[in-house]
Amino acid sequence: MEKSLTWREFIVTRAIQASGYSAIVFVTLIFFFLLREGAPALTDVKLSALFSARWYPIEDYFGILPLITGSLVVTIGAMLIAFPLGIGTAVYISEIAPRWIREILKPLVELLGGLPSVVLGFLGILLVSPFLRSFLDLPTGLTAFTGSLLLGGIAVPTIVSVAEDALDAVPRSYREGAWALGATRWQTIWYVTLPAAKSGVLTAVMLGVGRAIGETMTVMMVTGNAPVLATALGSWFAPARTMTATIAAEMGEVANGSAHYHVLFFIGIVLFLISLGVNVAASSVVFHAKKRAERILS
Amino acid sequence: MHKIIIESLSLQYSDGTESLRDVSLGIHQNAVTVLFGPAGGGKSTLLRCLNRLNDLAEVKASSGRILIDGENILDPKVDVIALRRKVGMVFARPVPLPMSIRDNVTYGLELAGEKRRATLDEAVERSLTLAAIWDEVKDRLDTLAVALSGGQQQRVCLARVLALQPEIILLDEPTSGLDPISTGKVEAALQELKKEYTVVLVPHSVQQAGRTADHAAFFLQGELIEYGEGKSLFTAPKQKKTEDYVTGRFG
C-alpha cells in the first residue's frame, strides 16, 4: 500500500518535472532548427546583399531591410495606438467604472482578445481599408497604417487585461492615503496608482509589443505586402510588408534548401531575436521592480 | 465649543450590515476626542464620514447630518477635495509614498498647487517638528521615507497631514503597529497638537483611550453608548456596558 503510494508520488513528481523541462527543450530545439536552416543564408547571400533595400527573391535580391522596417513601422504604429488606448481602458475599468460596467467590460475585452486574427483581417479588408482610402485620399487603403490600426486592436486586450490586474493589485490604502490628502481622482490615478503599478503596466505593454510583432495573418491581409524600405513618415501611409507576412506568404512556394529558403529562415532568426529582446527587457523591468519592492519592504 | 456636530447619523453598508445607528454627538475644538469600543462598533466608519472617505466604499444608505463649523458636509454639493484638506487623516498602517521624506511631506501641498520653494521648505520643518520627528530626520530629508522605521514612518505621515494646515485631524488606530516608545511619542505629539487643532482619535486599546482622552465616546455595535469627559467616563462610567468594557469584563 505504502509502496504504491510513494511510487505514484514519484511518477507524478517526475511527470510535472518533465513538462516543466520540456518548455526549455522546445525553445532550444526551435532555436537550433532555425539556426540550422537559417545560418546557411549567410554563405548563400553576401551580408551586404542581405542587409540591402531590395527584396525580390525571384531575381535573387534578398535584401531584408524593407521587411525589418516594415515590421517596425507597423508595430511601432500599433503600439502608439494600443498603448494609450489599452492603459486608458485599464484605468477606466479598474479605477473609474462603476461595478456593473466593470463586470460587463472586462469579459468583453477578454473576448476581443480571443478573436481569431483572420477575422480581424477580414474586417480590415472590407471596412477599414476602403474607409481609409477615401478618408485620407490614398491610392490604396492597404497600408502600414491600416496594419497598425488592426494590430493595435489585437494588442489592446492583452494590455488591458494585464494592466488592469496590476492596477487592481495596488493596495486600497495607497489610494485612501492620497484621497485623504485632498488628491482628486485624477491626481490619485496619475501620481499614486499608476506609479505603484508601474512594473505590471510595463509588462502589459511589453506583452502587447510581443503580440503585435509576431502577428501574421492580419498584417498579411491588410498591409499591401509591398517590400518598400520605410524612410520617411509617409511610409506609414504606404503599403509595407512585415517579416512575418513574408515568411507566411513565401514559405509555401520556395524550393527546399534554396537560398530563398535559407533567407526565409534567417528572417525567422531575426524575428526570434527581436521577441527574445522584448521579453528579456520586460522581465528585467519586472525583476528590478521586484528587487526594489523587496528592499523597501525589508 | 463644538467644532463638529453629528446629528442622528445612521449608515448602512450595501451588504446589509448596519454600521451606525442614530449617532449624535458634539466634538470639542482644541481637544482630543476618543472614539473607542470593540471592533465592528462603527468607530472607523464614523471617522471616515468626517472626511467623506466613505464616499468610495459601498455605502447604501445614510441619514442625518454632520456639521463642521455649521456647514453640513454630507451635502452632495460640498467640495470634497477642499473638505479633505481641512480634515486630515492618519491611517493605522503608515502609507509613506515611494519618495523622499521631504517629498512625502510636501506632497499634499503640491497637489493643492503650492509651488514656492520657500513655503514648501517652511512647511516641511514646521510639520515635521509638530509631528515630533524633525530632530530624527532633519539631516536626511532626501532619503526614501520607506527606509524609516514604522514609528518614524507614521510620524512622517502625520507631518504630511499637518503640512496642509488642516483644522481637524482624524487618526484611525495610528499606533496599532508601533512599539511603546514610538507610541509614546505619537501620543505626546497629540497633546501638543490639540492646542491648535481638533483631534479625533480611534485608539487601539482602552488604555490608550484612557491616557489620551479629553472627551470619550464609547461605541458598541453601531450605537453610541456613552459620551462624556474622559476622566469621568473612565473612572465613573454611568452605563453598565461602558463599565464592563472599561474594566475589561468583555471585549
How do residues A136-152 score in pLDDT, each as one tens digit? 888 888 888 888 999 99
Chain B nearest C-alpha distance from A161 (Å): 24
In B, minimum Cα distance to A186 occurs at: B111
Q: In this model, does residue A239 exceed pLDDT 90?
A: no
pLDDT tens digits for range A83-118: 999 999 999 999 888 888 989 998 998 888 888 888
Residue A17, pLDDT score:
94
In B, minimum Cα distance to A195 occurs at: B98
pLDDT tens digits for range A9-54: 999 999 999 999 999 999 899 989 999 999 888 888 888 888 888 8
Residue A291, pLDDT score:
64
Q: In this model, does residue A2 exceed pLDDT 70?
A: no
In B, minimum Cα distance to A181 occurs at: B108
> Beta B168-172 vs B87-90: how paired, if at all?
parallel
Q: Which CATH class is domain A39-297?
A: mainly alpha
Q: How would you write chain A as a 3-class SS string? A: CHHHHHHHHHHHHHHHHHHHHHHHHHHHHHHHHHHHHHCCHHHHCCHHHHCCCCEEHHHCEECCHHHHHHHHHHHHHHHHHHHHHHHHHHHHHHHHCCHHHHHHHHHHHHHHHCCCHHHHHHHHHHHHHHHHHHHHCCCCCCCHHHHHHHHHHHHHHHHHHHHHHHHHCCCHHHHHHHHHCCCCHHHHHHHHHHHHCHHHHHHHHHHHHHHHHHCCHHHHHHCECCCCCCCCHHHHHCCECCHHHHHHHHHHHCCCCCHHHHHHHHHHHHHHHHHHHHHHHHHHHHHHHHHHHHHHHC
| Per-domain residue ranges of chain B | 2-246
Tell me the average pLDDT of chain A: 86
Residue A81, pLDDT score:
92
Diameter of chain A measured on Cα atoms: 79
**B93·A196 Cβ contact <8 A:** no
**A187·B82 Cβ contact <8 A:** no
CB A166 within 8 A of CB A204: yes
Q: In this model, does residue A154 exceed pLDDT 60?
A: yes
Interface predicted TM-score (ipTM) = 0.80
pTM: 0.77
Q: In this model, does residue A298 exceed pLDDT 50?
A: no
Chain B residues with beta carbon closer than 8 angstroms to that of A296: 98, 144, 146-147
Counting as low any pLDDT under 70, the low residues of chain B are: 16, 56, 58, 60-61
Residue B60, pLDDT score:
65
**The cell 515630533 sits on which residue?**
B132
Q: In this model, does residue A294 exceed pLDDT 70?
A: no
Provide the CATH topology of domain B2-246.
Rossmann fold (3.40.50)
pLDDT tens digits for range A177-222: 888 888 888 888 988 888 888 888 888 888 888 888 888 888 888 8
Query: What is chain A's alpha carbon radius of gyration, rounded to the nearest angstrom?
Result: 23
**B161·A181 Cβ contact <8 A:** yes
Chain B residues with CB under 8 Å of a chain A CB are 51, 53, 56, 81-82, 84-85, 88-89, 91, 93, 95, 97-98, 107-108, 111-112, 144, 146-147, 157, 160-161, 164
Residue B246, pLDDT score:
84
Query: Using CB atoms, which residue from B56, B95, B164 is nearest to A182?
Result: B164
pLDDT tens digits for range B175-219: 887 888 888 888 998 998 899 899 999 998 888 988 899 999 999
